[in-house]
């Protein structure tokens, strides 16, 4: 009897996932714990391993479809031998490179790449659509026209466009293609929450600039010894994490959240650090960051960044967080206004370091300067507290010995 492959519980409050890439094909023999398919939730992408060795007898859910927790998405024959493959209940997505001919069309018919994506997005086969491109090619416009006509109840067979007066197809028109790609579940959730933050919170942003000379000097003096001892580079992020914790202790409302009609103050500091991944920015959390050393912070962030690119972050590592730091400077951003990650009340945005002329003791000197931005929820954070918090971060970063002396 086939073993049912179901969607596991992938996180708190998550009830459904989106099917990502199938890493094994129907009819393929797999070993226990081999990754079968990627599952995209609103918080992360995870791989579902094979529970036993066997043969994939049936794939029930295709890429892009949604499935609820506990729903069967495939069946596995546990004997390890190839068995007769059942026909899938939903049409499998054709491979674009192989789908160059269809039985219901002339042999010379071709499908343009953008049209192939559109066919898959709307669950159509190439034979459903009449091509109007040169040589009978199926264009993306043909697919969209077919879908629109089907919705309006009109006939689905389009009339080929009239050729130009010289009877030659327009090269400019033939080259103008579009590609329609559905948003991933992670990207849709990010979009929804950013909009929610704009509507639910009263967001304001305050700015300041930090002279990075002292931190750069410390990194230059101790960076080599630090890397030799801990086998990781001494970056800027650990300094900012320490500076934020110092400032959060002085202004705890920025480490709090609004919960219904109450303000909840946290006596711990779980700092989210935005890192890039194959699916966009994700925010893993440094738990109890106030207890971590510089080396532990740098090691944790480096591990987050590596696993984010491999889509191997754990769901629990992306949940919670009382304050967030986002470093747009690594991408070259000079100034921006970050958006608070609900239900947090603040986020610190870091930017690129640039040498700029500044006044020091009546003289103009060139210093490595960084703009910093604090976006905060004005429902519970007053402007005075926000400005003072950012000023404290500036003071600590410009005199980093304060981190040791706690003054």
Q: Over the stretch 48-94, which tens digit does the pLDDT of each residue have?
A: 889 999 999 999 999 888 898 889 999 999 864 444 444 445 555 55
User: Whole-angstrom Cα distance, residue 246 to residue 393?
Assistant: 8
Rounded distance between C-alpha atoms, residue 217 and residue 210, angstroms? 14
- Dihedral angle sign, alpha carbons of residues 16, 18, 184, 46: positive
Selecting among 34, 166, 303, 382, the annotated active-site residue is 382
φ/ψ of residue 370, rounded to 5: -130, 130
Count of all residues that appear for the chain in the document: 407
In the sheet that holds 45-49, the strands lie side by side as: 45-49, 35-40, 16-22, 66-68
Q: Report pLDDT digits (tens) over 315-371.
A: 788 888 999 999 999 889 999 999 998 889 999 999 999 999 999 999 999 999 999
CB within 8 A of 173, min separation 6: which ones? none
| SS3 (DSSP) at 306 | helix
Q: Which of 134, 133, 126 is nearest to 105 (CA)?
A: 126
135-153 pLDDT, tens per residue? 677 887 788 888 888 877 6
Whether 378 is catalytic is yes
CA angle 314, 345, 253 (to 5 degrees): 115
Token pair 């990075």: residue = 212
Among the listed residues 124, 123, 127, 97, the one whose alpha carbon sits nearest the alpha carbon of residue 112:
97
In angstroms, the CA 212 to CA 358 distance is: 12
Question: Domains of the chain, with CATH numbers?
Answer: 3-77 (2.40.50.100), 93-164+177-182 (4.10.320.10), 186-405 (3.30.559.10)
Tokens 């509507």 -> residue: 199
pLDDT tens-place string over residues 21-45: 899 999 899 998 888 998 887 667 7
Task: Verify whether residue 33 is a known catalytic residue.
Answer: no
Residue 101: both structure tokens together: 């001919």
Q: Above pLDDT 70, what percent of the chain?
A: 82
Regarding pTM above 0.85, the answer is no
């Amino acid at each position: 009897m086939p073993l049912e492959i179901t969607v596991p519980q992938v996180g708190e409050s998550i009830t459904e996932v989106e099917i990502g890439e199938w890493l094994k094909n129907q009819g393929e023999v797999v070993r226990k714990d081999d990754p079968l398919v990627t599952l995209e939730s609103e918080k992360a992408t995870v791989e579902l391993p094979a529970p036993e060795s066997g043969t994939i007898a049936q794939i029930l859910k295709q890429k892009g479809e949604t499935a609820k927790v506990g729903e069967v998405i495939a069946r596995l024959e546990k004997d390890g031998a190839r068995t007769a493959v059942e026909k899938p209940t939903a049409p499998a997505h054709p491979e674009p490179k192989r789908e160059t001919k269809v039985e219901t069309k002339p042999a010379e018919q071709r499908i343009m790449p953008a049209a192939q994506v559109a066919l898959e997005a709307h669950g159509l086969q190439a034979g459903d659509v009449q091509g109007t491109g040169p040589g009978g090619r199926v264009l993306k416009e043909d697919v969209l026209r077919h879908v629109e006509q089907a919705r309006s109840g009109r006939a689905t067979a389009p009339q080929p466009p009239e050729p130009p007066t010289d009877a030659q197809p327009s090269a400019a028109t033939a080259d103008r293609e579009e590609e329609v790609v559905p948003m991933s579940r992670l990207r849709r959730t990010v979009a929804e929450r950013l909009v929610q933050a704009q509507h639910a919170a009263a967001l304001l942003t305050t700015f300041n600039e930090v002279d990075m000379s002292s931190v750069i000097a410390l990194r230059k003096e101790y960076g080599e010894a630090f890397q030799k001892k801990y086998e990781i580079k001494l970056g800027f992020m650990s300094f900012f994490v320490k500076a934020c914790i110092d400032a959060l202790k002085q202004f705890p409302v920025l480490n709090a959240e609004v919960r219904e009609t109450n303000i909840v103050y946290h006596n711990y500091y779980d700092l989210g650090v935005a890192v890039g991944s194959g699916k966009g920015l994700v925010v893993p959390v440094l738990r109890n960051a106030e207890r971590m050393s510089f080396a532990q912070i740098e090691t944790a962030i480096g591990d987050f960044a590596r696993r984010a690119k491999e889509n191997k972050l754990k769901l629990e590592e992306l949940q919670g967080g009382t304050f967030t730091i986002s470093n747009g400077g690594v991408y070259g951003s000079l100034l921006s206004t970050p958006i608070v990650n609900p239900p947090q009340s603040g986020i610190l945005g870091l930017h690129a370091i640039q040498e700029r002329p500044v006044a020091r003791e009546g003289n103009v000197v060139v210093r490595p300067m960084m703009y910093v931005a604090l976006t905060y929820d004005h429902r519970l954070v007053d402007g005075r507290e926000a400005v003072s918090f950012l000023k404290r971060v500036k003071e600590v970063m410009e005199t980093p010995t304060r981190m040791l002396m706690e003054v």
